A and B are shown apart, each in its own frame.
Chain A
C-alpha cells in the first residue's frame, strides 16, 4: 500500500475515534516533532511538554484535519503553535513567525571564504563541526531556527514548511538561505581559527 493511501485509511479510522489508528498515524512524527520542540524550547522538560501537548491537541482536533497537507506537516504546525504559546506564557522569546526577518530581501556575499568543506565532512572533524553547528543553531533567531529544523533536519519540503508556518514560499526560502548562510559562516570562523592555531 502506498504511504499516502495508508495515511488516508489511518486518518479515516482515527477520525472515527480509533486511537490506535491515530497512534499509528502519529508515531512516525514523534522524533521529528521532538527535534523541533527541543530546539524551540530552552529545556528538555519544556520540549517534552510541547511534544505531549502537540499530540494531544492533534488528537482533539483530528476531526478538523482535512488532509490538505500531510499529517506530519499539520503536526509540525501544531507543535510550533504549542511552543509559541508556552513561550508567551513565560514571557520569554516572544516573537512572531510571520514578522519580516531582519534584513529580509537583502543580498551581499561574504568576503574571502575559507574552504572547509572537506575538513567539515571528515569523519572525526564532522563531530566537532556538528557541535559547532548545534551551538550556532541555538544562537539563530527563532524564526530562522524553526525553518532550518523543519527543512534541513526534519526534511520537510519548502512547500510543507510554508504550509506549516503559513508563510509565503518566498519568505521560507529567504529565511532558509539566510539561516544556512549564518551557519556556514559560523563553521567558516571555526575552521579558520583551527587553521590559525
Chain B
C-alpha cells in the first residue's frame, strides 16, 4: 500500500477496519510519517469524541418520562 492507495475512507475509517487491512496500512505508515500522523490524529479524535458519551439525561426528566409512559392513554 502507498499514499495514493491510502484513501480518505481508510484514514477516517481506520478505527472501524478489520485487523488484516489495518496491518497493511500499518506497514505503510511505518515508513510514511505523514499518513501515520493523519491516522494517529484521527484515532485520537474518535477516542475523545467517544468520551463525550459520558453525559446523560437529568434524573428528574427520566422519572417524569417513566411516569408519563406508565400513565399516558393510548391514542
Contact = CB atoms under 8 A, between A and B. Distances in A.
B2 interface: no
Contact of B52 (A110, A134, A188): A134
A45 to B, nearest CB: 10
A173 B13 contact: yes
Contact of B56 (A35, A59, A180, A183): A35
- If over half of A's interface residues share one DSSP class (helix, strand or loop), that class is named, otherwise mixed; here it is helix
Given A26-B69, A130-B48, A154 B53 contact: yes
A114 B33 CA distance: 11
A116 B44 contact: yes
Given A19-B70, A120-B45, 17 more contacts: A23-B66, A30-B57, A31-B56, A35-B55, A52-B61, A52-B64, A109-B11, A109-B38, A113-B38, A113-B41, A116-B44, A133-B48, A153-B50, A154-B53, A180-B42, A181-B12, A187-B44
Interface of A: 17, 19-20, 22-23, 26-27, 30-32, 34-35, 38, 48, 51-52, 55-56, 59-60, 107-110, 112-117, 120-121, 126, 129-130, 133-134, 137, 148, 152-155, 158, 173-174, 176-178, 180-181, 183-184, 187-188
